[in-house]
Structure 1
Amino acid sequence: MREGEPSRTAFGSAVHRAVHQDLDGGRIFRDPLAWQILGIDREATLADPAATERPRLRVFIAARHRFAEDTLATAVERGTRQVVVLGAGLDAFAYRNPHAETRVFEVDFPATGAWKRDRLADAGIAVPDSVTYVGVDFESDDLMSRLVEAGLDPTAPAFFLWLGVVPYLTWEAVTATLMAIASVPSGEVVFDYTTPTHQLDAKALSDRTDLIARVAEVGEPLSAGVETEALHTLLADLGFGEVEDLGRPQIRARFLGRQAGSETGGAHLLRARASA
Structure 2
Amino acid sequence: MEDATPSRTALGVARMRALHQFSPQAGLFRDPYAIAILGEAAPTAQELEQEDERRRRMRLFVTARARFAEDWLAAAVRRGIRQLVVLGAGLDTFSLRNPYPDLNVFEVDHPATQAWKRKCIANAGLAEPSATTFVPVDFERQSLSAELTAAGLQSTEPSFFIWLGVVPYLTKEAIFKTLSWIAGVPGSEVVFDYSEPAENRDAAGQAALAFHAARVAAVGEPWISFFVPGELAQSLHGLGFDETEDLESSDIAARLSRTPTERTANSGGHIIRARRST
Q: Work out the percentage of aligned pairs sharing the same amino acid.
A: 49
After TM superposition, give the deviation of residue 184 of structure 1 in Å: 2.1
After TM superposition, give the deviation of residue 185 of structure 1 in Å: 2.5
Q: Distance in 2 between matches of 1:48 and 1:262?
A: 26
Could you state the TM-score of these two structures normalised by the residue count of structure 1? 0.94
Letter in 2 for 1:264: N
Q: Distance in 2 between matches of 1:161 and 1:51?
A: 30
After TM superposition, give the deviation of residue 125 of structure 1 in Å: 1.5
Q: Distance in 2 between matches of 1:175 and 1:251?
A: 25
Do the aligned partners of residues 206 and 265 (structure 1) sit closer, same or farther apart at CA in structure 2, a change above 3 Å counting?
Answer: closer
1:205-256 deviation digits (Å, cap 9, x = unpaired): 1111111111111100011411112211111011111100001343143023
Instruction: Give 1:21-100 correspondences, 5 Å limit.
Output: 21-40=21-40, 42=42, 45-48=44-47, 52-53=51-52, 54-100=55-101
Q: Distance in 2 between matches of 1:251 and 1:119?
A: 30
Match of 1:4 in 2: 4
Do the aligned partners of residues 219 and 92 (structure 1) sit closer, same or farther apart at CA in structure 2, a change above 3 Å counting?
Answer: same
Instruction: Give 1:143-154 correspondences, 5 Å limit.
Output: 143-154=144-155
Instruction: Give 1:1-276 correspondences, 5 Å limit.
Output: 1-40=1-40, 42=42, 45-48=44-47, 52-53=51-52, 54-256=55-257, 257-258=259-260, 263-276=265-278
Do the aligned partners of residues 130 and 50 (structure 1) sit closer, same or farther apart at CA in structure 2, a change above 3 Å counting?
Answer: same
Across the two proteins, how many residue pairs are aligned to each other? 275
Query: Is the deviation greater in 140-149 or in 159-168?
Result: 140-149
Q: Distance in 2 between matches of 1:92 and 1:126?
A: 12
Query: Is the deviation greater in 176-185 or in 150-159?
Result: 176-185
Q: Distance in 2 between matches of 1:49 and 1:96?
A: 25
1:248-274 deviation digits (Å, cap 9, x = unpaired): 343143023426856225100100101
Q: Secondary structure at the match of 2:129?
A: coil
1:80-105 deviation digits (Å, cap 9, x = unpaired): 00000000000000011011110000
Letter in 1 for 2:266: T
**Structure 2 unaligned runs (5+)?**
none
Q: Distance in 1 between matches of 2:99 and 2:110?
A: 26
Letter in 2 for 1:36: A
Q: Distance in 2 between matches of 1:212 and 1:40?
A: 27
Q: Distance in 1 between matches of 2:128 and 2:82?
A: 18
Letter in 2 for 1:14: A
Q: Distance in 2 between matches of 1:51 and 1:110?
A: 33
Do the aligned partners of residues 86 and 21 (structure 1) sit closer, same or farther apart at CA in structure 2, a change above 3 Å counting?
Answer: same
Q: Distance in 1 between matches of 2:186 and 2:126?
A: 33
1:40-78 deviation digits (Å, cap 9, x = unpaired): 265x64434797331000000011000000000000001
User: Does the CA contact (< 8 Å) of 1:104 and 1:132 recur in 2?
Assistant: yes
RMSD of Structure 2 on Structure 1 (CA): 1.8
Q: Distance in 1 between matches of 2:216 and 2:70?
A: 26
User: Does the CA contact (< 8 Å) of 2:106 and 2:135 recur in 1?
Assistant: yes
